[in-house]
Amino acid sequence: MIRGMVKFAGSSLISSFTPFDSVLLKKHRRFSVNSFFKNSNNPRSLSTCTQNIILHTKAEMVASQYLPPWFSVAPMMDWTDNHYRTLARLISKHAWLYTEMLAAETIIYQQGNLHPIVLQIGGSNLDNLAKATELANAYNYDEINLNCGCPSPKVAGHGCFGVSLMLDPKFVGEAMSVIAANTNVPVSVKCRIGVDDHDSYNQLCDFIYKVSSLSPTRHFIIHSRKALLNGISPAENRTIPPLKYEYYYALLRDFPDLTFTLNGGINTVDEVNAALRKGAHHVMVGRAAYQNPWYTLGHVDTAIYGAPSSGLTRRQVVEKYQVYGDAILGTYGNNRPHVRDVMKPLLHFFHSEPGNGLFKRKADAAFQTCKTVKSFLEETIVAIPDSVLDSPIEEAPRGREDLFADVHDLLPPPYKAREQEVLYAY
């Protein structure tokens, strides 16, 4: 796919509209897109053509405002909260940001203008998913994503939601239809390549085929490891199951009308570009974007999108973040968020730099006494040399050159859809 073209629902749409497109878009904006669904007693009874028209309309609305999600930051529980997303948006204007997964029962307000941003929800109750999606409409998320990939025992271990949903693609298709029926933005699924011994390429394809056939879902984020639900921790689930990037690239071959984002084991902008050069539609980075935000996110706009850098130094980012931090303290009720909550993402801002260790030790002490972000920074930032605070961002860290070298030689045999199973699911 050529940069500058956005792939949605099996076609390439130029991101800048023609005059006719603009007229059509204005027409669509006079009514709720989900009225198409709500006029039907069963969302799945709509024809594939009608579902694709609705999907095109939703996708065009988003595509007209933002650059494509060639680079996104993965949803990470307890990490990608509003404070982290605010810091990330100060560093990169164009990276797509995801909320941490929110249970359908606990949708909360999205603070600030951090677009483009995706809400990830988790759940297995259709009524709650519908209500959560409808509530989220007021907060102007740019996409709604259903978590079918979290291996945490708190989420998947009881068969509730997360990666255990991959074992029930019929339900996921129904859930995605419900979500799509209650929102005006595109919907997507984030999943693993398998669960326990359900880990063959054909089983992954069965999941993708059934969900996309039973719902208007056209975007899947693929974590290229399977999940093991018994015996290992969530952290081990990110390292022990082997990465199989060949499964991801085979999906591009076998489902040309769908859009896929590659996730898992990718840590630098250099590696993101390597994946894109091999044909990946989009790429999602996880912990590297949290643990080293300056060098990971700081090169996204220029190296991925070919856009100008923000030009901010770390000192300027900290100054802007301090204004946000002091404004947000205590606004959630019960004196929350605290200084510690707001400053948590900034603890990784000086990763591997001179003074980083002293900064963190001073931070531990400052958390005990400081009541404002300003006072916290006055106590701690002195540990960081001016040369670090005031210098422009340096060259991006190099990635592993061989990460995708032989991926196209390892592709599994092509998938043949089992039409009868999908028809029976109806």
Q: Which residues are known to be catalytic?
A: 150
Identify the three-state secondary structure at position 220.
Answer: strand
Contact yes or no for 63/6 (Cβ under 8 A) = yes
Q: What angle do CA 176, 5, 279 make, to 5 degrees?
A: 80
Cα–Cα nearest to 118, from 263, 14, 242, 224: 263
Distance CA 180, CA 34 (A): 7
Residue in 5, 75, 54, 73 with CA at minimum distance from that of residue 185: 54
> Mind giving me the DSSP string for 7-31?
EETTEEEESSPPHHHHHHHHHHTTS
Task: Kindly state the tokens that stand for 402.
Answer: 């061989």
Distance CA 232, CA 244 (A): 19
Q: Write the DSSP assignment of 37-95 as a string of letters.
A: HHTSSSGGGS-HHHHHHHHHHHHHHHHTTS---SEEEPP-TTTSSHHHHHHHHHH-SS-
SS3 373: helix
Q: Are 234 and 261 in contact (CB under 8 A)?
A: no
Q: Which two tokens stand for residue 107?
A: 């949708």
